[in-house]
Structure 1
Amino acid sequence: MSEDAPAPLLESGDSDGWEHYFTLFADEPALHDEFRRIAVFDFVTNNTDRKSGHVLRGSDGRIWAIDHGLCFSAAFKLRTVIWDFAGEPISDALLDDVGNLIDEVPAEVAELLTEREVRALQGRARYLFAAREFPIDETGRRFPWPLV
C-alpha cells in the first residue's frame, strides 16, 4: 500500500472467519438491530448479492456489511440472506433515514447512478416508507447462491 492510500477500515484478519450472518444472528440477538439496518440498506440499494459471509464482525465488535457493487440496478433484483425480519415493523429511526431518500438522493450517490437508477432507488425508499415493515419474499427465491 502506498503512503498516499488511505488505510482500510477493516484489515485482513480483523474478523473471525468462522463468523458470518447466520452464526451471528443465532448467537448474538443484541446485534439484530444492526442486521435490520443492513436489511433496509439492501432493499433500498437493491443489493443482488448479500451472502452470509458478507456480514462480518470486526475485532472492535462493529458489524461490517461488505459489498462489491452489485447494487442500484433499476430492475428489481434483490438477493439477500437477511429475511429474518420479514413482516416486522421498521423502526421510526430507520424509516426517517429511508424517508430522506424519497425526495433527494445525496449528490455523492446520485452522480454515480443513472437517472433511472436514482428514480428506482427513490421508488424503493417510497415503498418501504409507506409499507413501514420489512418486505416478505413471496417467491422464496430472493436468496443469493451460495448462501455463505
Structure 2
Amino acid sequence: MPAPERLPAPGVTDTGEIEELLAKGELTVVGRIREASNAVLLCTVTHEGASADCVYKPVKGERPLWDFPDGSLAQREVAAYLVSEATGWGLVPTTVLRDGPYGEGMVQRWVESAEPEGDTGGLLALVDGEEAGEGWKPVALAEVGEGRTALLVHADDPRLRRLSVLDAVINNGDRKGGHLLPAPDGRLYGIDHGVTFHAEDKLRTLLWGWAGEPLTDEAREVLTGLAAELAEGAPLATRLAELITSVELAAVRARVAHLLRTGTHPQPSGQWPSIPWPPV
C-alpha cells in the first residue's frame, strides 16, 4: 500500500476531544507497518469534521507470547495510557480500545517524530571507554563487532527519567530505543506497551541509568497520587480492572507501594535479561 498522507486534526485541541475522535470516528486503513511483529495498521480517523492519523492494532493480528498468551496486548496498551494520564506526565499518546475494520483493537493517535526514522534525537548513544560522560547515564557494555565493545548510554534527561518511573509501575518488558518518540513540540512519548502489567517482574529497558538512585521529589509526589487512584473503587482502578486481571492490578498497587517505600529507582532483578532484544 502507498504511504499514508499525514492529515492534521482540525478542531482537536485536548485529550478529551482526541479520545472522542479516536473512539467514535470512522477508521480508514491506508497502510501497514511491516517491520512490526504484530499487525500494525496506519489509519485515518474522521468524526464531525475533525480528522487525524492513528495506529490501529487489531487483537486478531496479535501473535501470542509464551508469557502473554491470551490476546490481551491491545488492552494492556490502553491500560498503559490510562496510568500515564493519571501521572499527569502525558507520556503515552492518546489510546482507546474500540471496534475497527478487523475487529476490536487498540487505536492510538499518531505522533510524528521530530527525528529521522530510527533516530532517537540524542537520547541514546554508544561511546568508547567505560565512562558515560557529562549529561549521560551508563546502561551496559555492548559488543559492536571485531571484538570491540562500547558503552551504551542514555541522556540524563528528565523526560526519560519520568518514563523510567512509568515503566517501573506498568512493568514494561520491552522499552526499546525505537519506542521513544521525540515530538516536534519538545515532548517525549513512549509507544508499544503491549508487553506490560505482568504480575511477575518483567522489567526490560534501556533506561537503567538511574537504577538504585533516589526518586525525584516530583516522582514521589506523582506515585503518592497514583497510589490513591489505584485504591479499590477509585475510577482509575475500576477502568484498569476492565483491561487487566485482578492479580495484575494488585501487582501494580504493590509496585507503586514498593517504589514509595524504597524511594529509589528499581534495579535489574537478575531473573530476566534486563535489556530487551533487539535493543532498538
TM-score strictly above 0.5: yes
Aligned with residue 16 of structure 1, among 116, 140, 144: 116
Judged with a 3 Å threshold, the aligned counterparts in structure 2 of structure 1 residues 117 and 6 are, in CA distance, closer, same or farther, namely farther
More helix as a share of residues: 1
Alignment partner, residue 33 of structure 1: 158
Alignment partner, residue 53 of structure 1: 178
Give the structure-1-normalised TM-score: 0.83
Aligned residues: 147
CA RMSD of aligned residues (A): 2.7
Write the mapping of 1:76-95 to structure 2, written as runs, cut at 5 A. 76-95=201-220
Deviations 1:77-128 (A, max 9, x none): 1111110111211112211221233344213333312111110000010111
Structure 2 residue 46 is the aligned partner of structure 1 residue 3: yes
Query: Which secondary structure does the structure 1 equivalent of 2:157 belong to?
Result: helix
Judged with a 3 Å threshold, the aligned counterparts in structure 2 of structure 1 residues 70 and 89 are, in CA distance, closer, same or farther, namely same
Give the structure-2-normalised TM-score: 0.47
Alignment partner, residue 247 of structure 2: 116
Contact 2:201/2:269 (8 A) holds in 1: no
Q: CA deviation at 1:14?
A: 4.7
Alignment partner, residue 199 of structure 2: 74
Judged with a 3 Å threshold, the aligned counterparts in structure 2 of structure 1 residues 31 and 65 are, in CA distance, closer, same or farther, namely farther
Contact 1:25/1:31 (8 A) holds in 2: no
Unaligned residue ranges in structure 1 (runs of 5+): none
Unaligned residue ranges in structure 2 (runs of 5+): 1-43, 55-108, 126-134, 136-154, 231-235
More strand as a share of residues: 2
Q: CA deviation at 1:18?
A: 3.9
Q: Which structure has more RCO (C-alpha within 8 Å, separation ≥ 6)?
A: 1
Q: CA deviation at 1:6?
A: 5.8
Question: Which residue type is aligned with residue 268 of structure 2?
Answer: D
Q: Distance in 1 between matches of 2:119 and 2:247?
A: 37
